Structures are given as C-alpha cells and as structure tokens.
Structure 1
Amino acid sequence: MAHTQGFGRRYIKAFFKGFFVAVPMTVTFLDRVACVARVEGASMQPSLNPGGRQASDVVLLNHWSIRNYDVQRGDIVSLVTEMDLSLVLLNFLFYILRSPRNPEQKIIKRVIALEGDIIKTIGYKKKYVKVPHGHIWVEGDHHGHSFDSNAFGPVSLGLLHARATHILWPPKRWQKLQPILPPERKPLQREQE
C-alpha cells in the first residue's frame, strides 16, 4: 500500500511540474509565434469563407513575421485592441481578434495602403486619405459587407497582431495566402521619403 501511495504522489508531482512548464510555454508560443483562428462572416469573401455561413475557414496566424511591423500591401492581417489572457487559455487553439472600434468584434482584413500612401476611400468621411505615419489602411475584400478602415479610418500599426499565412481548414481549401492587392484599390500616390 505504501508503494502505491509513493507512486501516486510522484505521478501527481510530475503532472503538476509538467503542467506549470507546458502552459506558460504554450501561451508564449500562441502569443509570439503562431496560432490558428476561425474566420467568420462575409467581409473577406471570396478570399476567405467563399461558401458563406456553410463553412468557416481556419487560418494560420503568424505573429513572428510581423514582430517589426513589416507588412506589405495585399497582406491579410489580424488586428486586436487588447489581449485577454483568460480568453487565450479558454480558447486554447483559437485566438480572439478584436476590432479597433468594438472589442467584442473579431477582425481580419487586407492591407490596402501603408503609411504615406494616399488612398481613395469607399464611403469614408473624406474622399481621399493620406495614411499617417505609423498607420495602415485595411479593408475587407467584400466591400459592401465589411467593417474596415472605410468605417473607422487608418489603423495604428500597434494594433497589428498577426499575418494570415495559410488556410488550414477545410482540407479542400489548404493553401498559402498570397499578398494580392486588387488593381482598383492601389494607392494613388506614395509620399516621397
């Protein structure tokens, strides 16, 4: 009986030791390197969720690739206003992406313009906007159904959270996401540095 109790204690001790190492390492990996996220809604159709509500795409979000805020026009990026560690732990695989205006709304958009670019807007309060230093202009691919910079303006690079690099699910849509900028959304002018 004493031998069984000793084995049980060793097992519990090893479990907790592993748990207290694995959880911080996993959270750090999900926060700094990569995670996966489900994309819902029509704002990025046809690039993401082409089937509408029937099937949501699951994408790989690469945090490491944007650590220096190095993005290019056409990248699909996630934006976030705050990180809630408890939500990360509860949603172990699926990171929460938040909107710049509404922290309850998840957001993933395409980079249309970088700092210094002059962009013709679609329904924004100004017809033309020069993207300020330290900001980007983001839009959904489905213009009529997207809450994006045309609603809330340029987005601070500090809200940049990750770059969507691959579609992981459903299997028939496995692919690497290429940076594509629709010709009609190219910046009108680039400020000379």
Structure 2
Amino acid sequence: MKSFFKSIIIGLPIGITIIDVFGYIARVDGISMQPSLNPGSVTDYVFLNRWYVRFYDVSHGDIVSLFSPKDPDLTLIKRIVGLEGDIINTVGYKKPFVRVPEGHCWVEGDHIGHSLDSNFFGPVSLALITAKASAIVWPPQRWQYLESEIPDNRRPLNMKIEE
C-alpha cells in the first residue's frame, strides 16, 4: 500500500506536467471544422500540442484550441485565418473588413456559416490560444498530420496582394 501511494505522489505531478507542457488528446465536437475535422458522422480525436504555442508563435492556417472570448468555460477549435496587421474580408461580422490588431488573430471554422468564430466575436487575443491541433489520432483510418493552410477564398486581403 505504501508503494502505491508513493507512485501516486510521484506520478501525478509528472503526468500533470507532461499534459501542461507537451499536450494531450481531445475529442472534437460539432460541425464547425468540417470537412477538415469530423467529416460525415465520424468523430475525430486530435493531439493538442501545447509546446507549439508556448510563445504564441502561431502561423496562418494553424488549427488551434482556444478559450471562447464570450464564454471562458467553452473551448473552441478553429483555424487561424489572420494575424496582426492582416486585413480580413469578414463573413457576417459588423464590419465588412477588419484589420487584426496587435497581439490578436482572426479565427474561423472551416464550415463557414456554421461556426462560432471571429465572424461572431471579432479578433481574438493570442493569450486565449491553448494549443495547436497537430494530428488526428483517432479513428485509425483518419490518422494524419493536420496541415497549416487557409482556403483561397478566406486568405487575408494583404496576402492576396503579395502573391
């Protein structure tokens, strides 16, 4: 019994540290990221890489986990469409164009119109991002790394000009 408690006392902090620093596996609910995640009736489980976002070094197209700016108890998974300085052509937001402010990003679900995203609540502070979705780990037939890409019709206006 003594060795059991010793294992718990040592193992628990190590496990929490690994989850907090490196990442964990999470289930993706809803249709907002279709077709990239949860296509059809499949429920995807993704590896959320906390190490990657440690210094807020995120890129266009990354799929990230973040706290909702409207409800901190709600965790969202969305794609980064714009970073600070980008000009975004919004979809149903109160302004047709938005310049993403410093320290913020613009996130959207891949299933436009069926997503609670920046088109609803505006630019999001980078501090709300908790992890990057690196790979689909379940179900086995969907195993794959997740690419950082933005659909052409959602690219920031200043990215289209530079190309």
**TM-score, normalisation: structure 2:** 0.94
- After superposition, residues 28-43 of structure 1 pair within 5 angstroms as 28-43=17-32
Give the one of 55, 60, 63 matched to 1:73. Answer: 60
Alignment of 1:62 onto 2:31 = no
Alignment of 1:103 onto 2:72 = yes
For residues 126-169 of structure 1, what are the alpha-carbon distances to aligned partners after superposition, in whole Å with 9 as ceiling and x for unaligned? 11111000000000000111000000000001001000000001
Q: Counterpart of 1:100 in structure 2: which amino acid? A: P
Paired residue total = 159
Partner of 1:170: 139
For residues 12-56 of structure 1, what are the alpha-carbon distances to aligned partners after superposition, in whole Å with 9 as ceiling and x for unaligned? 1111111011111111111111100000100000000002xx321
Unmatched 5+ stretches in structure 1: 1-11, 81-98
Alignment of 1:151 onto 2:120 = yes
The structure in which a higher percent of residues are strand is 2
Please state how far the C-alpha of 1:100 moved relative to its aligned partner: 1.9
Distance 1:176 1:29 in 2: 21
Partner of 1:121: 90
Q: Counterpart of 2:5 in structure 1: which amino acid? A: F
Distance 2:114 2:15 in 1: 35
Please state how far the C-alpha of 1:105 moved relative to its aligned partner: 3.0
Percent of residue pairs bearing the same amino acid type: 57
Distance 1:32 1:106 in 2: 18
Alignment of 1:131 onto 2:100 = yes
Bigger Rg, structure 1 or 2: 1
**TM-score, normalisation: structure 1:** 0.80
Q: Counterpart of 1:63 in structure 2: which amino acid? A: R
Unmatched 5+ stretches in structure 2: none
